[in-house]
Structure 1
Amino acid sequence: MLLTEQFSNDYISSLCKQNMYNEALVAFDFLQNNTNFRIRPSTYAGLISACSSLRSLQLGRKVHDHILLSKCQPDVILQNHILNTYGKCGSLEDARMVFDEMPQRNVVSWTAMIARCSQNGPENECD
């Protein structure tokens, strides 16, 4: 990994850990538009969690789209973050899509989906 990639990932992750979500997403925008660097799965997790904290469905979809277009193979942890973000942002449809496409689910996946259904969906939506 190039030093600049490592620095960029560390910088964005640091901003997320400091709850500087808007700044982290601005840095992500800048870097994705101006360089060709790889984002680590842990950095994606911080970015998608930032979108969740901001309750921004639009930004969550943007980061998720970037994940899908990248060569990153999201693990169950990153997929749970994406699932949780869609649920917290009120998009049960997107959350269900992520859940249905997960090759592996764990207790967190099921709990997140059940919680989002109970908060956002009609009673029969999560059958």
Structure 2
Amino acid sequence: MIRNLKTQLRFTFYNSQPIQNLYNEALVAFDFLQNNTNFRIRPSTYACLISTCSSLRSLQLGRKVHDHILSSKSQPDVVLQNYILNMYGKCGSLEDARVVSDEMPQRNV
């Protein structure tokens, strides 16, 4: 449990340091978390991951993270949904952005 907590904290730190270009390390950490089925990822960590995908303009990685969010047990909150919507927009997938927008129970204006 403590090892997982340390991994979560390190992963969130890497994703909060875009100036240092630690995107690759963040994505490696995501692969680790994705393969560790006993580990639950927090919405704030997902938001960091989605932000990384937006910065990289990586639609493929963004979809991978979004699929992981959808397959998890928790529903994304409004903040995370806005990150996802923004990522699809920045990556040029307006169709996916529209689907996310239409599925949002509540929208920030």
Q: TM-score, normalised by structure 2?
A: 0.91
Q: Could you tell me which residue of structure 2 aligns to residue 47 of structure 1? A: 49
What does residue range 1-127 of structure 1 map to in structure 2 within 5 Å? 2-19=1-18, 20-107=22-109
User: Cα deviation per residue 1:18-73 (whole Å; 9 max; x = unaligned)?
Assistant: 12122101111022114520000000000000000000000000000000000122
Q: Which has the larger radius of gyration?
A: 1
Shift of 1:84: 0.2
For the residues of structure 2 that align with 1:34 and 1:70, how far apart are their CA atoms?
Answer: 13
Structure 1 vs Structure 2 CA RMSD = 1.1
Give identity over the alignment, percent: 75
Count the aligned residue pairs: 106
| DSSP-derived class of the 1:97 partner | helix
Which structure's relative contact order is higher, taking Cα pairs within 8 Å and 6+ residues apart? 2
Q: TM-score, normalised by structure 1?
A: 0.79
Q: 1:29 to 1:67 in 2, by over 3 A?
A: same
For the residues of structure 2 that align with 1:101 and 1:35, how far apart are their CA atoms?
Answer: 26
Q: 1:50 to 1:39 in 2, by over 3 A?
A: same
